[in-house]
């Protein structure tokens, strides 16, 4: 089919990937892997369109979890100042600013192990307010009960973010205060409630090639592929256990994006944390590999992110634009 065709190729969507198959994709010559990923990407999406989201921390720090990468844990001395749940009016001001800067989805994150029911009520009010601005909504609040999940659904939530972070085998090296199954259970509740799933992971935490393959295997073999798949590069923060971890080869990160695109053809693959340390050239390779979503704004929860003006300049240089439609 011609490269400029707008008709989908409808590549086979699978949920039965094996680790060795995924490792074989990672091991392809770089140009072959990129060619395959770009073909899958073009069969499902406009290749020159990037969905733009904005992320706000609505409740910061004092989290009881021990995630080794996270400065919001109360267990670590990261110099982060805890902040209570934001007033709704302030959240809506931030959402309006994000919309004016070109974001189509507004994501709200709260540092909880699991929210209380009264917290959910306040978050639902935020969701309704953001949707009234004409934006898609996403929240990440930790583990959810079935009742809380239903409340978010009734409140109109579009996406729920709950990352697996890494492979099940490597998980205990990073987090001990909740299990891998805890995460899968919350994802199941969200999926069963009919809320779109935003689920990905973090690379560069000292994991092996097999761990990266198994993370993507877990995501691709879920009953339904996550609608959004954020791939984060570890941002090392002073005071957290993962500070000092050996940096990941940038081309391994690009390969991870490409393999995610092949395994989950119709999912939005998002460049998330870590873009501040990525060169423009590295990000361009990620877009070529099939990434088609980013977070706008100068901060992702508590860590730095490229300035909006810089992102707009990069978009212009690459000839891409923000948007959200797909062929499929």
- Cβ atoms of 111 and 71 closer than 8 Å: no
Please indicate whether residue 268 is annotated as part of the active site. no
Select which of 105, 178, 191, 270 is catalytic: 270
- Cβ atoms of 159 and 130 closer than 8 Å: no
Select which of 105, 122, 138, 268 is catalytic: 138
- Cβ atoms of 23 and 296 closer than 8 Å: no
Of 206 and 103, the one with more pLDDT: 206
Give the tens place of pLDDT for each residue, 157-208. Answer: 999 999 999 999 999 988 888 889 999 999 999 999 999 999 999 999 999 9
Half-sphere exposure in the Cβ direction for 54 (13 Å, CA):
26
- Cβ atoms of 124 and 152 closer than 8 Å: yes
Select which of 42, 70, 191, 199 is catalytic: 70
Select which of 42, 67, 191, 268 is catalytic: 67
Select which of 42, 105, 107, 255 is catalytic: 107
Say whether pLDDT at 132 is over 50: yes
Please indicate whether residue 199 is annotated as part of the active site. no
- Cβ atoms of 282 and 294 closer than 8 Å: no
Give the tens place of pLDDT for each residue, 216-265. Answer: 999 999 999 999 999 999 988 877 877 788 999 999 999 999 999 999 99
Buried b vs exposed e over 110-136: b needs ≥16 C-beta within 10 Å?
bbbebbeeebbebbbebbebbbeeebb
Helix axes 19-26, 250-263, angle to 10 degrees: 130
- The percent of residues in the chain predicted with pLDDT above 70, rounded, is 86
Select which of 122, 189, 191, 198 is catalytic: 198
Neighbours of 223 (CB within 10 A): 9
83 φ/ψ angles, rounded to the nearest 5 degrees: -135, 140
How is 92-124 classified by DSSP, letter by letter?
HHHHHHHHHTT-SEEEEEE--SS--HHHHHHHH
Which pLDDT score is estimated for 270? 94
> At 325, is the pLDDT very low, low, confident or very high (cuts 50, 70, 90)?
very low
- Match 């949920």 to its residue by tokens: 15
């Amino acid at each position: 089919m011609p490269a400029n065709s707008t008709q989908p190729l409808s590549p086979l969507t699978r949920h039965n990937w094996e680790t060795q198959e995924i490792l074989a994709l990672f091991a392809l010559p770089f140009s072959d892997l990129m060619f395959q990923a770009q073909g899958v990407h073009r069969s499902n999406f406009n290749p020159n369109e990037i969905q733009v989201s904005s992320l706000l921390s609505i409740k910061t720090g004092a989290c009881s979890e021990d995630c080794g990468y996270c400065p919001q844990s109360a267990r670590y001395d990261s110099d982060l100042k805890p902040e209570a749940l934001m007033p709704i009016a302030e959240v809506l001001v931030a959402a309006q600013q994000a919309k004016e800067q070109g974001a189509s989805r507004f994501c709200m994150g709260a540092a909880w192990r699991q929210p209380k029911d009264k917290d959910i009520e306040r978050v639902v009010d935020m969701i309704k307010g953001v949707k009234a601005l004409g934006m898609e909504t996403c929240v990440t609040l930790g583990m959810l009960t079935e009742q809380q999940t239903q409340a978010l659904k009734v409140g109109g939530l579009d996406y729920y973010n709950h990352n697996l972070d890494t492979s099940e085998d490597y998980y205990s090296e990073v987090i001990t205060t909740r299990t891998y199954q805890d995460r899968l259970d919350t994802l199941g509740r969200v999926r069963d409630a009919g809320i779109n799933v935003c689920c990905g992971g973090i690379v560069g935490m000292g994991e092996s090639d097999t761990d990266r393959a198994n993370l993507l295997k877990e995501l691709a073999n879920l009953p339904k592929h996550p609608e959004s798949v954020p791939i984060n590069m570890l941002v090392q923060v002073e005071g957290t256990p993962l500070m000092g971890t050996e940096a990941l080869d940038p081309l391994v990160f690009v390969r991870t994006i490409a393999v995610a695109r092949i395994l989950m053809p119709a999912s939005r693959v998002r460049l998330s944390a870590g873009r501040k340390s990525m060169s423009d050239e590295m990000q361009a390779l990620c877009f070529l590999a099939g990434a088609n979503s980013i977070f706008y704004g100068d901060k992702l929860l508590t860590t730095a992110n490229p300035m909006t003006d810089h992102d707009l300049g990069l978009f212009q240089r690459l000839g891409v634009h923000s948007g959200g439609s797909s062929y499929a």
